Structure 1
């Protein structure tokens, strides 16, 4: 892999990772509600989930999408249902955390924060397709592949972690302003609604693919 190829990968991934998907949305929402230090447990979970997806994509995604398409679609449906479940819970908890106009925060345990991060990462099968489709475009077939995969993986995680931290800090920075009246409740409901929309979008993609088959 040449330096030019690596820089092209860095620039492409930097802007792709900045897109507010489910991982970044979770980092923002938890940073807003639980603070920076607590959300670090969630960021560790998000990173572990991405690592699992990367491993799966490198080893199985080609076979799974071509040789076992039904299993692949079931996995996508399960992922969309989890995102919808998470969105509904966030919406409902946003209302239950309001008491006489004040925000009453119930902070989950570090394990719960970590587990939610893992589950949200694993619930995004598009990340598998992202890894499987993007990484090979920057590999040099004539050179040893494993060192190139290691470089791309470490670079990706560095960029992804950077943006997760940015989203977390952004959420924390807004917390003082949002703790006025019902602003926090409505932003949490917006986050929950976006999770639900992500789930609907994923189910729609599955339906379109089914219709086209």
Structure 2
């Protein structure tokens, strides 16, 4: 892999990771509701999920999409349904929070971590990114393992940067959103976006049939 190829991968990853997909949306919403330090547990879960997706994608997903398309569609459907369920849960939780006392109950760290892992594993963008984009930057005439290592470390560095940005952004808006019903509607917006992401994934699958 040449230096120019790595720069192209870095630029592509920087742009793709910045888009507000399910991982970044979760980082923003949890940073807003639970604070920066607590959300670090969720970011750790997101990173673990991405690592597992990377390992599975490089070894299995590309083969699965070509040789077992039905099972591949079942996996994507399960991911979409989880995102929809999470979005509905966030929407309903936002309304319940408005009617509760001002003391906010923060989930235990392991629950924040578990949610991060689950959302990351259900992220269709990451699955397609790993399976489709990584091979385009590999030089097959050179040893592959060092190239995989460079691409993986680059991706995780960029992804972590944007997760921290989204988390910090949510925390910075907390005071302003604490006025009136702003927080409730932002949380509902986050939940709606999760549902729309799920609907978009299901729609793409439907069109492909």
Q: Same fold (TM over 0.5)?
A: yes
Check conservation: 1:46, 1:118, Cα contact below 8 A. yes
Cα deviation 1:70-95 (Å, max 9, x = unaligned): 11101111101100000000000001
Query: Structure 1 residue 109 and structure 2 residue 108: aligned?
Result: yes
Check conservation: 1:88, 1:192, Cα contact below 8 A. yes
2: CA distance, partners of 1:184 / 1:91: 11
2: CA distance, partners of 1:146 / 1:55: 12
TM-score by length of 1: 0.96
2:55 corresponds in structure 1 to 55
Query: Which deviates the most, 37-46 or 123-132?
Result: 123-132
Cα deviation 1:171-202 (Å, max 9, x = unaligned): 00000000011110010000000000001101
**Structure 1 gap segments, 5+ residues each:** none
Residue correspondence of structure 1 range 33-112 to structure 2 within 5 A: 33-99=33-99, 103-112=102-111
How far off is 1:126 after superposition?
Answer: 3.2
Cα deviation 1:14-63 (Å, max 9, x = unaligned): 11110000000000000000000000000000000000110111000122
2: CA distance, partners of 1:204 / 1:105: 37
Check conservation: 1:97, 1:104, Cα contact below 8 A. no
How far off is 1:142 after superposition?
Answer: 1.2
Query: Structure 1 residue 23 and structure 2 residue 18: aligned?
Result: no
2: CA distance, partners of 1:30 / 1:107: 10
**Structure 2 gap segments, 5+ residues each:** none
2:200 corresponds in structure 1 to 201
2: CA distance, partners of 1:104 / 1:183: 17
Check conservation: 1:103, 1:179, Cα contact below 8 A. no
Check conservation: 1:27, 1:39, Cα contact below 8 A. yes
TM-score by length of 2: 0.97
Query: Which deviates the most, 59-68 or 192-201?
Result: 59-68
